Each structure stands twice: as structure tokens, then as C-alpha cells.
């Protein structure tokens, strides 16, 4: 009977933990993606309006005619590559969130309140990891999808008002949806791929008494330099290089997901991230 | 029963040792975590002869093959 009640109770607790993260980091998790997408759309519109009306019309005709008759999955990789910049925004938001998450708890002393609640340190830290790996890409992709839909409707309406034939609109729309799916999966894979970085930043967020992100970057650079000078090797540099190429986590096909998720590099990175996250969890027992 | 008692006492002893050493304060825990991670990275790097692939723009999961008719229409 207890086991039956434990399931919904765990779900309720996790929902509460994740909602707490959204409420406490509303500006970073909700407003920042909205502003970034809005600024990108406005910038694109501003650049487009710099063209003369004839060139605008020619450009829109070119856009719709090129997509006419094309298969969405064939052209989606091109749109995905163009949208890869969004991954940088997602990683930037996640890094900023992780660096401030445990540090802000200690600084505002809300840490003592949460320690008095019947929630383990492990659950608290895991909720922050889930927020960074799943929630931030998910929220960002929701905002990006809404922005893209509004943009394509706006472009179609404007083209129609200029008398441009919307021949390839259906194909363009399908390619955009597939590309958004690729970008969303890329963001999720990227966060899993960067799990050691997630753990590293969390460890410094739990440890540093000031500017945790600068400490996290500074110590990594110092260790790399020290290794080069003392040992004459570059293991840390090699490790960073093997994790930093976006080509390792850009998704252009839905078929190889199992191979990606269960690849040796992914699993080893997850194990290393788990060590660092365990260190951050144990660090919670020491109050400043 | 003896086995369970022995294992429990060993576990308690290990916890005590950990509390006196690695878990004594946040600094010792921090340095122990970083040392452990660096050791694992170094050993794994040696065993697998890891090479940095950051500058080569490789994606083993991706091979873009555009059909000739689509390629010509994209030009």
C-alpha cells in the first residue's frame, strides 16, 4: 500500500522541486529565451527592411520557389545548421543558471530553509541537473517554435501582400518543423554530452564563496597550464577539445539516437559528470 | 548473522574514516573530488589514447548526402 502511494508522492515532490527552480529563476529560464528569440526576429526583420521593395519581393519569391517540391527531411539539415546558434544560447543560459543555483542558495541563506524540509540534498541537486539538461532546452525550444511559427505566418502574410506566389509554403513549413525537432534533440544531446561541464560548474557553485563561474573557468585553465608546465602533457586540453566541438552533438537524423545515447564517450562523460555531481551533493552538508 | 554484523561494522568504520578525512571540511572534499576526476580522466586518456577532435569538425553520426537534383535546385 505504501509503495502504491510512494509513486504519486514522488511525482508531486519532483513537480514541486522543478516548479521551484522555474519560480526562483524566472528571468533566466523564461524571460531570457523570449527576449533572445524576439531580438533575433527583430534583427532579421530590420536587416530585411534595409533592402529595397523590389529586392524584398525577389528574395521572397526565391525563398518560396526554392522550397517547392523539396522533401522536408532533405533540406532540414541545412536549416538545422543555420539554427545551431540557438544551442549556444541554451548552453549559455544553462551555464549561468548552474553557476548561480547552489551559490545563490547559500548567499540568500534559503539553504537553511530547504535543509529543514523533508527533501534530501540529492533530490535538490538532481532537480537542478534536470532543470539544466531537460527544462532549459525544453522551454527554449517551446519559445523558439512559437517565434518561428509567428515569423513564418508573418512572412507568408507579407509575401501575399506583395503579390508573391506562396508555392513552397507547405514544404518550407514542414522543413522548419523537422529542423526545430533536430535543434531540440541537438540541445538535449548537447546537455548530456556536456554533463561533465554541468557537474564541474555545480561543484564550484557549491564551493566558491564568490563568482563561482569565474572560479570554475579559472581553475580549469590553471590546471591545464600546470599540467603543461609540470608534466609536459596535455590530457586536460585533449579532454576539453574532445568535448567542445558542436559536430559531436548536432543531430541531423532521428535514426541514430540510440547509438548516440549509448556511445562510449557519452557514457564515460555521464560517469564523470556523476562523480562531480556527487561531490556537489556532499558539499551541501557544509554551511558557510 | 556474523557476516552481516561484520559487514555493518566495516561499513561504519569506513564512514568514520571518510568523515575524518575527505568529509572533514568543504576544502578537503573539494580537492578530493577534483583529484579523483583528474585521475580518472588521466587514466582513461592513457588507456584509450584519447585524441582531441575539436578542430577537425567530425560528426560520426552525420553524413550529408544531397541528391543531385536537389543540389542543383539549391544553387
Of A75, A252, A275, the CB nearest to B36: A275
Residue B2, min C-alpha distance to chain A (Å): 31
Q: Which of B28, B38, B54, B64 to mutate to test the interface with A (most CBs of A within 10 A)?
A: B54
The DSSP secondary-structure symbol of B60 reads: T
pLDDT of A147-180, one tens digit each? 999 999 999 999 989 888 888 888 888 889 999 9
Answer yes or no: do A66 and B73 touch at CB < 8 A: yes
The pLDDT of residue A254 is 78
pLDDT attached to residue B54: 46
Convert the pLDDT of each residue in B11-65 to its tens digit.
Answer: 888 888 777 777 778 899 999 999 999 999 888 888 887 765 544 545 555 555 5
The whole-number pLDDT of residue B55 equals 46
DSSP chain A: -HHHHHHHHHHHHHHHHHHHHHHHTHIIIIIHHHHHHHHHHHHHHHHHHTS-HHHHHHHHHHHHHHHTT--HHHHHHHHHHHTTHHHHHHHHHHHHHHHHHHHHHHHTTHHHHHHHSS--HHHHHHHHHHIIIIIHHHHHHHHHHHHHHHHHHHHHHHHHHHT---TTHHHHHHHHHHHHHHHHHHHHHHHHHTHHHHHHHHHHHHH-SS-HHHHHHHHHHHHHHHIIIII---HHHHHHHHHH-GGGT----STTHHHHHTSHHHHHHHHHHHHHHHHHHHHTTS--
B62 and chain A in contact, CB less than 8 A: yes
The one-character DSSP state at B25 is: S
The torsion angles phi and psi of A233, rounded to 5 degrees, stand at: -110, 175
The one-digit pLDDT tens for each residue of chain A (288 residues) are 556 667 788 888 889 899 999 999 999 999 999 999 999 999 999 999 999 988 999 888 888 887 777 787 778 887 887 888 899 999 999 999 999 998 988 888 777 777 788 888 899 999 999 999 999 999 999 999 999 999 999 999 999 898 888 888 888 888 899 999 999 999 999 999 999 999 999 999 999 988 999 999 999 999 999 988 988 888 888 888 888 877 778 888 877 788 888 888 899 999 999 999 999 999 988 866
Domain ranges of chain B: 1-49
> Which residues are within 8 A (CB) of A193 and not within 5 positions of it... i.e. 6 or more apart?
A243, A248, A249, A265, A266, A269
Query: Would you state the pLDDT for residue B7?
Result: 77
Query: Nearest Cβ partner of A282 from B23, B57, B58?
Result: B23
Phi–psi pair at A42, nearest 5 degrees: -65, -40
Q: Which residues contact A19 (CB under 8 A, 6 or more apart)?
A: none
Contact A34, A139 (CB under 8 A): no
Distance, first Cα to last Cα, chain B: 78
Are B52 and A275 a contacting pair at CB < 8 A? no
CA of A78, closest CA in chain B: separation in Å? 9
Residues of B in contact with A285 (CB under 8 A): 23
Residues of chain A contacting residue B33, judged by C-beta atoms under 8 Å apart: 203, 275-276, 278-279
Cβ within 8 Å, pair B61-A251: yes
Neighbours of A240 (CB within 10 A): 17
From B1's Cα to the closest Cα of chain A, the distance in A is 28
Instruction: Please indicate if any CB of chain A lies within 8 Å of the CB of B44.
Output: yes
| Distance set, CA A137 to CA A95, A104, A108, A177, A269 (Å) | 12, 22, 27, 16, 19
- Is A236 in contact with B53 (Cβ distance < 8 A)? no
- Please list every residue in chain A whose beta carbon sits closer than 8 Å to the beta carbon of residue B26: 207, 283, 286
In chain A, which among 35-74 make CB contacts under 8 A with chain B? 66, 70-71, 74
Which of A77, A196, A272, A279 to mutate to test binding with chain B, by most B CBs within 10 Å of its CB? Answer: A279
pLDDT value at position A85? 87
Cβ-Cβ contacts under 8 Å between A and B: the total is 98
A 92-151: CB under 8 A from B: none
Whether ipTM exceeds 0.90: no
Inter-chain contact B64–A77, Cβ cutoff 8 Å?
yes
Amino acid at each position: 500500500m505504501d509503495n502504491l502511494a510512494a509513486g504519486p508522492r514522488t511525482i508531486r515532490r519532483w513537480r514541486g522541486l522543478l516548479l521551484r527552480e522555474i519560480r526562483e529563476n524566472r528571468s533566466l529560464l523564461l524571460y531570457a529565451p523570449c527576449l533572445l528569440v524576439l531580438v533575433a526576429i527583430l534583427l532579421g526583420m530590420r536587416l530585411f527592411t534595409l533592402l529595397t521593395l523590389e529586392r524584398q519581393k525577389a528574395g521572397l519569391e526565391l525563398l518560396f520557389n526554392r522550397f517547392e517540391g523539396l522533401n522536408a527531411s532533405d533540406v532540414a539539415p541545412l536549416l538545422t545548421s543555420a539554427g545551431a546558434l540557438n544551442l549556444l544560447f541554451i548552453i549559455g543560459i544553462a551555464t549561468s543558471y548552474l553557476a548561480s543555483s547552489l551559490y545563490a542558495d547559500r548567499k540568500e541563506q534559503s539553504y537553511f530553509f530547504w535543509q529543514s524540509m523533508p527533501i534530501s540534498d540529492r533530490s535538490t541537486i538532481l532537480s537542478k541537473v534536470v532543470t539544466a539538461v531537460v527544462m532549459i532546452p525544453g522551454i527554449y525550444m517551446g519559445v523558439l517554435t512559437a517565434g518561428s511559427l509567428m515569423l513564418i505566418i508573418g512572412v507568408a502574410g507579407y509575401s501575399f501582400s506583395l503579390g508573391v506566389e506562396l508555392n513552397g509554403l507547405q514544404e518550407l513549413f514542414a522543413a522548419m518543423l523537422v529542423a526545430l525537432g533536430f535543434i531540440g534533440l541537438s540541445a538535449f544531446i548537447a546537455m548530456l554530452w556536456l554533463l561533465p561541464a554541468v557537474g564541474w560548474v555545480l561543484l564550484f557553485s557549491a564551493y566558491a564563496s564568490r563568482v563561482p563561474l569565474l572560479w570554475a573557468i579559472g581553475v580549469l585553465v590553471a590546471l591545464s597550464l600546470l599540467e603543461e608546465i609540470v608534466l609536459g602533457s596535455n590530457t586536460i586540453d585533449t579532454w576539453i577539445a574532445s568535448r567542445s566541438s558542436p559536430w559531436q552533438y548536432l543531430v541531423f537524423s532521428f535514426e541514430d539516437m540510440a547509438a548516440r545515447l549509448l556511445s562510449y564517450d557519452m557514457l564515460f562523460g555521464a560517469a564523470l559528470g556523476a562523480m562531480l555531481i556527487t561531490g556537489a551533493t556532499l558539499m551541501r552538508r557544509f554551511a558557510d | 548473522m556474523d557476516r552481516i554484523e561484520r559487514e555493518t561494522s566495516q561499513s561504519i568504520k569506513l564512514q568514520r574514516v571518510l568523515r575524518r578525512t575527505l568529509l572533514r571540511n568543504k576544502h578537503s572534499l573539494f580537492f578530493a573530488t577534483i583529484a579523483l576526476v583528474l585521475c580518472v580522466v588521466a587514466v582513461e586518456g592513457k588507456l584509450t589514447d584519447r585524441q582531441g577532435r575539436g578542430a577537425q569538425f567530425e560528426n560520426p553520426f552525420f553524413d550529408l548526402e544531397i541528391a543531385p537534383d536537389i543540389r542543383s535546385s539549391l544553387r
